[in-house]
């Protein structure tokens, strides 16, 4: 078991009982998602945007246009942070103070660089696509050179990280447990619905196996 080292940057102060620095647990949070929240400074203002990402080992890949102001600002700073969060349940308590949510949240800190080598860029984009849906990269047409040229791909090396996880029930005051107030959890999850083909030829095609596999793995099971 390997942990990220603790510092003032990544140390969790509030709710330390829920903190983890375990690399494997943090990677599992990253791999369960596809959207991260990336912060940057633009014209002396802090801005946070949701961004799709791919992960391979200790690398995070983002992409955008060559003029993407967020990516350009991050490259100028040479550092970035990103947070990924999954909301798992509403925690309904007997008092307003003890209402909460169950969640998994990871925050990453690291250095960033622009990938300019075409082979490295294509490999990073393949990682991004496979993070979205396993098997998708081999099911689409190859990228044109002009598409690759106008796409900026950046690589973040995760240097440190931390996570917080709440996965327990209601924590009410002892004297409140006999109150005539309903309390409990409302579990939440993101599910996939049956694939809808695009207009044109896909309407006459069988749905690819990798798409159906994704649906089966992520559909709602009563």
Q: Residue 128: its pLDDT value, please?
A: 97
> Looking at residue 15, what is its pLDDT?
86
**Which residues of the chain are modeled with pLDDT < 70?**
1
| Side-chain half-sphere CA neighbours of 10 within 13 A | 27
Q: What is the pLDDT of residues 78-106, one digit of tens each?
A: 999 999 999 999 999 999 999 999 999 99
132 CB burial (10 A radius; 0-12, 13-18, 19+): middle
Domain-wise residue ranges, the chain: 16-190, 192-222
Strands 35-42 and 45-52: antiparallel
pLDDT tens column, 144-167: 999 999 999 999 999 999 999 999
Query: The pTM is what?
Result: 0.94
Strand partners, 48: 39
Say yes or no: domain 16-190 is CATH 2.30.110.10.
Answer: yes
> What pLDDT sits at residue 222?
72
């Amino acid at each position: 078991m390997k942990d990220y080292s603790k510092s003032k940057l990544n140390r969790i102060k509030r709710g330390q009982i829920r903190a983890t620095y375990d690399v494997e647990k943090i990677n599992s949070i990253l791999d369960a998602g596809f959207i991260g929240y990336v912060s940057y400074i633009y014209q002396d203002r802090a801005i946070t945007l949701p961004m799709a990402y791919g992960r391979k080992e200790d690398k995070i890949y983002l992409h955008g246009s060559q003029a993407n102001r967020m990516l350009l600002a991050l490259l100028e700073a040479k550092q970035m942070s990103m947070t990924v969060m999954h909301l798992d349940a509403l925690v309904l308590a007997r008092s307003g103070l003890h209402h909460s949510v169950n969640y998994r949240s990871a925050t990453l800190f690291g250095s960033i660089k622009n990938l300019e080598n075409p082979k490295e860029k294509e490999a990073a984009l393949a990682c991004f696509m496979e993070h979205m849906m396993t098997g998708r990269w081999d099911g689409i047409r190859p990228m044109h050179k002009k598409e690759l040229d106008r796409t900026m791909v950046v690589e973040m090396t995760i240097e440190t990280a931390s996570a917080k996880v709440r996965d327990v029930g209601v924590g009410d005051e002892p004297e409140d447990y006999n109150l005539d107030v309903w309390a409990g959890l409302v579990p939440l999850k993101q599910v996939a619905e049956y694939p809808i083909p695009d207009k044109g030829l896909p309407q006459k095609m069988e749905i690819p196996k990798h798409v159906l596999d994704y649906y089966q793995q992520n559909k709602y099971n009563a």
